[in-house]
C-alpha cells in the first residue's frame, strides 16, 4: 500500500508539472512536431474534395504568357482573367474565388478593368479579396467601410456577444485595402485573405473571418461558398461558427484547425494557361485544350498563384512551400465535408494527463525488477502518442506532449525514488548475502524483500554438515600455504554447488561446511535440493581428488550429514556483531549424522525425515536405526548413493535382507549375511556389531544401534 501511495504522489506531481508546462506554451514546439506526424499520416482526400477545384497560375503559365506571341509582362492584363471567368461560367462552376489583389487600377487602362468587371458581372458568383490591416501601425487602407461598396448580404447572429467575450483585437481590423470599384461593384462577396501562422511560422489553422467596421469579411474559402449561397445563415454559439447548419469549431481568435487532404494539388488543379487557351479556342469555334465543357460543373473553383516569383507559397505541416490558395481550398473542403478538427476539451486533457501520469508513477514504483520497469516504460511511453493519433482519427487535436511529459516525469521520478529507497535495500541485500547465497536466490529475495524475515523465527529447514575425513592428520604434514590453497579450492568448489542448488552457506569452520535450505527464502523442495547438492559435492570432490592428491599427497574425502527438522533461524549474536544462522536439535542431529558416517564407513548419510521429504526418488538404502551421542530418541538413517534415475547398486538388496535379520535380533544369521558383502564398508561394520551382540545379547532388543562417539 505504501508503494501504491508513493506512485500516486509521483504521478500527481508529474502531471502538475506537465500541465503547467503545457498551459504556459513551453511544450508548443514539440507538440507542433508531433502534429506534423499526425497530419502526414492521416492526410487523404475527403468526401468533398472533388467539389473543390483549382486554377493555378504556375510557372509554366507565366512562361506561356511571356512568350513573344503574346508578350504579356507581369502583371498580366486583366482581360486575361476575364477569359478564366468566362470558361468557369461556360463549364457550370457553382462559384469562383479569386486569391488576387486588385487594389490598384490596371496598368493597361480603364478598359482593361471594365472588361474584368463585365466578366465578373456575367460570370458565376464571385468572391474577391480584401486585405485587412491587422496591426495598429499599418497606415495603408481605409478606416471605414467605403460608401460605394455594398455591405455583406448575410447577417451573423451572435457576433456582438462573441466579440464581447473573445479577443476582439485578434479578429478586428483597423484598416483595410479594398479592390478597385469595378471589382467591388460586381463581386458577389468580398473575402479576407489576411492570416497569421502559428508561433513557428507554420499554417496549421486558418482564420474564418475578420471584422472591419463591424462588418464581417469571411475568409476566401468560406466566402466562395457564401457567394453561391447568399441566403446562408451564420451564427456564433458556444465556441463554434454555425454556417447552414454545419458547426465549425474555432478558438477565441476565430481560427479553425485544418484537416489537410495531402500534398499540393490533392484538389484537381488546372493551369491558368490551359484554361485561358481553352476559352479562347471555344470563342474561335475550335476544340479546347481541356476536354469538354463540364470541367467545373457544380464545383467551387479557387484561383491563385503557385509560381515561386509571385510569392504566395506558405509553410504548412505538409510542405515548406504550399500555395496559399490551397490553404483556402482546404478550409472550403473541410467545411463542405463537415470534418474540421476541433481542439481537445481542456478538462478532458487535464484528466487524461493526470491518469496517464498516475498510471506511470504507480507502474514504476510497483516494479520489482529492472525489466519490469523497462516493460512499464515500453508500455506507457507510446500511450500519449497513440492517444494523439486516436484523437486525430476522431477529429480532435489531443495534445501529445502534455501527456508524454507527464508520463516521462512520472517514470523517471519513479525510477529515482525506487533507486533511492529500494536501490539501497537491494545493495544491502546483495552485500549481505552474496557470500552465502547463489545469485538466483538473491534476485528472488530482492524481487520480494517481504520474504526475507530477519530476526529469529521457527522454520523447517534441511541442514547440511560436511567435514574432511582425517583432516587433522594430513593438515599437520602440509605447510600453511599448501594447506590454505587446498582448503580454498575445496571450499570454493563445494560452496558453488551449494549456492547453485539454492542453499544458504551458514559458515565455514576450518574444513567443515554448514549450510541450510528453506531460509531466508522459502523453498518447497528444500530436502531434494540439499540431497542433490550433497551428491553433486561428492561427485565433484571425486573429480578433484587426483589433482588434490598430486598437489598435497593427501587423499581428500569428506563425510556429509543431512537432516530436515524445525530450528530457529535468524540474526543471532551481540548487538554489535551477529550472523544469520540456525539453532536447534535438528541442526545438532545433522552434525551427528555427519560423524555417524565413521561407524559405517559411509560418506553421505541423511535422516529419515530428509529421505521422505526429498520425494524418495533418489538412489539409496536404509542404513539402520541409530541413537546418536547426546540424543535419546533414535533416528532411522539412509545412505544416498545417486541422483534420481541412476542405477541402484546390486548389493543393496542383499544388505537390506541382512538388515532385516539384524532388526529381528537374529545376529548369527545377520552376521553371515553381512559377511557375504565383504566389499561393502557398512556390511563389514554390521558384521562386527553382530559379533559383539552375539557375545553379549541385549536383554531388551529394539533394533537400535547406539553410537558411543560423535
Q: What is the CATH number of the domain that holds 565?
A: 3.30.70.1230
288 and 427 inside one domain:
no
Q: Indicate whether 500 belongs to any domain.
A: yes
546 and 622 inside one domain:
yes
Binned at pLDDT 50, 70 and 90, residue 162 comes out as confident
Q: Is residue 192 within 8 Å of residue 222, measured between CB atoms?
A: no
- Cβ of 252: how many Cβ atoms within 10 Å? 13
597-606: per-residue pLDDT in tens?
999 999 999 9
Residues 639-651 have a mean pLDDT of 94
State the pLDDT at residue 450. 54
Q: Is residue 561 within 8 Å of residue 590, measured between CB atoms?
A: yes
State the pLDDT at residue 613. 96
Residues 193-203 have a mean pLDDT of 92
296 and 398 inside one domain:
no
State the pLDDT at residue 68. 87
Q: Indicate whether 598 belongs to any domain.
A: yes
Q: Which of 630, 648, 666 is the last residue of a domain?
A: 648
Q: Which of 648, 670, 698 is the last residue of a domain?
A: 648
Q: Which of 399, 432, 465 is the last residue of a domain?
A: 432
Q: Indicate whether 41 belongs to any domain.
A: no
C-alpha grid cell, residue 273: 494557361
475 and 539 inside one domain:
yes
119 and 222 inside one domain:
yes
498 and 628 inside one domain:
yes
**Rounded CA gap, 99 and 305, in Å?**
8
> How many domains does one find in the chain?
3
Asked whether residue 225 carries a pLDDT value surpassing 90, the answer given is: yes
In this structure, the strands spanning 558-573 and 512-517 are: unpaired
591 and 628 inside one domain:
yes
State the pLDDT at residue 137. 47
State the pLDDT at residue 449. 59
**Rounded CA gap, 423 and 421, in Å?**
5
Q: Indicate whether 513 belongs to any domain.
A: yes
User: What pTM was estimated for this model as a whole?
Assistant: 0.65
59-94: per-residue pLDDT in tens?
999 999 998 888 898 899 999 999 999 999 999 999
Binned at pLDDT 50, 70 and 90, residue 650 comes out as very high
103: left (phi over 0), alpha (psi -120 to 50) or beta: alpha
**Rounded CA gap, 526 and 463, in Å?**
9
278 and 183 inside one domain:
yes
Tell me the backbone φ, ψ of residue 56, rounded to 5 degrees. -115, 130
Closest CA to 567 of 427, 463, 482, 701: 463
Q: Is residue 542 packed enough to be buried (19+ CB in 10 Å), middle (13-18) or exposed (0-12)?
A: exposed
185 and 290 inside one domain:
yes
What DSSP state is assigned to residue 450?
G
Closest CA to 212 of 144, 135, 154: 144
User: Which residue range is the domain that position 421 belongs to?
Assistant: 2-17+344-432
Query: What residues contact residue 255 under an 8 Å CB cut-off, 6+ apart?
Result: 205, 206, 207, 208
At residue 463, the 3 state secondary structure works out as strand
Q: Indicate whether 354 belongs to any domain.
A: yes
307-332: per-residue pLDDT in tens?
998 888 999 999 999 999 999 999 99
Lowest mean pLDDT across 136-140, 170-174, 361-365, 633-637:
136-140
H-state helical runs in 147-240: 159-165, 168-171, 181-184, 220-228
Binned at pLDDT 50, 70 and 90, residue 407 comes out as very high
**Rounded CA gap, 423 and 519, in Å?**
22
Tell me the backbone φ, ψ of residue 518, rounded to 5 degrees. 85, 15
503 and 594 inside one domain:
yes
Amino acid at each position: 500500500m505504501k508503494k501504491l501511495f508513493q506512485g500516486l504522489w509521483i504521478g500527481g506531481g508529474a502531471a502538475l508539472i506537465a500541465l503547467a508546462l503545457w498551459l504556459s506554451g513551453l511544450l508548443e514546439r514539440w507538440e507542433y512536431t508531433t502534429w506534423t506526424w499526425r497530419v502526414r499520416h492521416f492526410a487523404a482526400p475527403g468526401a468533398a474534395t472533388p467539389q473543390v477545384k483549382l486554377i493555378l497560375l504556375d510557372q509554366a503559365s507565366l512562361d506561356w504568357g511571356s512568350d513573344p506571341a503574346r508578350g504579356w509582362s507581369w502583371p498580366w492584363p486583366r482581360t486575361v482573367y476575364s477569359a478564366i471567368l468566362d470558361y468557369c461560367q461556360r463549364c457550370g462552376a457553382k462559384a469562383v474565388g479569386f486569391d488576387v489583389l486588385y487594389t490598384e487600377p490596371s496598368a493597361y487602362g480603364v478598359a482593361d478593368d471594365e472588361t474584368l468587371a463585365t466578366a465578373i458581372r456575367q460570370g458565376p458568383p464571385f468572391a474577391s479579396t480584401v486585405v485587412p490591416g491587422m496591426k495598429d501601425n499599418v497606415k495603408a487602407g481605409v478606416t471605414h467601410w467605403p460608401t460605394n461598396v455594398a455591405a455583406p448580404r448575410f447577417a451573423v447572429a451572435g457576433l456582438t456577444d462573441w466579440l464581447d467575450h473573445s479577443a476582439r483585437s485578434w479578429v478586428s481590423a483597423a484598416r483595410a485595402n479594398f479592390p478597385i470599384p469595378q471589382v467591388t461593384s460586381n463581386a458577389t462577396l468580398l473575402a479576407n485573405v489576411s492570416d497569421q501562422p502559428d508561433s513557428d511560422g507554420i499554417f496549421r489553422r486558418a482564420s474564418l473571418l475578420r471584422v472591419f467596421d463591424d462588418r464581417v469579411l469571411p475568409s476566401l474559402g468560406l466566402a466562395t461558398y457564401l457567394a453561391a449561397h447568399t441566403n446562408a445563415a451564420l451564427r456564433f454559439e458556444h465556441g463554434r461558427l454555425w454556417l447552414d447548419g454545419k458547426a465549425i469549431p474555432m478558438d477565441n481568435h476565430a481560427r479553425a484547425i485544418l484537416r489537410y487532404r495531402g500534398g499540393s494539388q490533392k484538389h484537381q488543379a488546372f493551369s491558368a494557361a490551359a484554361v485561358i487557351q481553352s476559352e479562347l479556342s471555344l470563342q474561335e469555334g475550335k476544340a479546347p485544350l481541356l476536354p469538354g465543357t463540364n470541367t467545373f460543373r457544380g464545383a467551387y473553383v479557387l484561383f491563385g498563384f503557385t509560381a515561386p516569383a509571385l510569392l504566395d507559397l506558405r509553410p504548412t505541416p505538409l510542405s515548406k512551400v504550399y500555395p496559399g490558395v490551397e490553404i483556402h481550398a482546404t478550409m472550403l473542403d473541410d467545411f463542405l465535408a463537415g470534418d474540421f478538427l476541433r481542439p481537445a476539451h481542456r478538462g478532458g486533457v487535464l484528466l487524461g494527463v493526470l491518469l496517464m501520469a498516475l498510471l506511470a508513477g504507480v507502474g514504476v514504483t510497483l516494479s520489482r525488477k529492472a525489466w519490469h520497469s523497462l516493460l512499464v516504460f515500453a508500455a506507457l511511453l507510446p500511450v500519449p502518442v497513440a492517444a494523439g493519433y486516436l484523437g486525430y482519427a476522431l477529429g480532435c487535436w489531443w495534445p501529445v506532449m502534455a501527456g508524454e511529459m507527464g508520463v516521462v516525469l512520472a517514470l523517471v521520478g519513479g525510477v529515482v525514488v525506487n533507486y533511492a529507497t529500494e536501490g539501497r535495500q537491494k545493495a544491502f541485500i546483495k552485500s549481505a548475502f552474496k557470500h552465502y547465497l547463489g545469485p538466483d536466490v538473491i534476485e528472488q529475495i530482492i524481487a520480494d524483500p517481504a520474504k526475507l524475515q530477519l530476526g529469529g523465527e521457527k522454520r523447517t529447514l534441511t541442514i547440511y554438515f560436511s567435514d574432511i575425513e582425517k583432516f587433522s592428520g594430513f593438515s599437520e604434514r602440509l605447510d600453511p600455504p599448501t594447506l590454505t590453497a587446498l582448503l580454498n579450492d575445496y571450499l570454493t568448489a563445494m560452496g558453488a554447488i551449494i549456492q547453485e542448488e539454492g542453499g544458504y552457506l551458514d559458515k565455514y569452520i576450518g574444513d567443515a561446511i554448514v549450510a541450510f535450505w528453506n531460509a531466508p527464502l522459502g523453498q518447497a523442495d528444500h530436502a531434494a535440493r540439499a540431497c542433490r547438492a550433497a551428491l553433486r559435492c561428492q561427485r565433484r570432490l571425486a573429480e578433484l581428488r587426483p589433482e588434490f592428491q598430486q598437489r598435497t599427497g593427501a587423499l581428500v574425502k569428506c563425510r556429509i550429514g543431512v537432516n530436515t527438522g524445525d530450528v530457529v533461524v535468524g540474526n543471532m549474536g551481540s548487538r554489535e556483531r551477529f550472523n544469520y544462522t540456525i539453532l536447534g536439535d535438528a541442526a545438532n542431529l545433522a552434525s551427528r549424522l555427519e560423524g555417524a558416517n565413521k561407524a559405517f564407513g559411509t560418506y553421505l548419510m541423511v535422516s529419515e525425515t530428509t529421505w521422505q521429504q526429498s520425494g524418495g526418488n533418489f538412489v539409496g538404502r536404509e542404513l539402520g536405526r541409530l541413537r546418536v551421542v547426546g540424543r535419546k530418541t533414535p533416528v532411522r538413517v539412509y545412505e544416498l548413493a545417486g541422483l534420481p534415475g541412476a542405477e541402484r547398486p546390486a548389493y543393496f538388496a542383499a544388505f537390506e535382507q541382512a538388515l532385516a535379520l539384524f532388526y529381528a535380533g537374529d545376529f548369527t544369521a545377520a552376521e553371515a549375511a553381512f559377511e557375504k558383502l565383504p566389499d561393502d564398508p557398512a556390511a563389514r561394520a554390521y558384521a562386527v556389531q553382530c559379533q559383539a551382540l552375539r557375545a553379549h545379547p541385549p536383554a531388551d532388543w529394539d533394533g537400535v544401534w547406539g553410537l558411543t562417539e560423535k
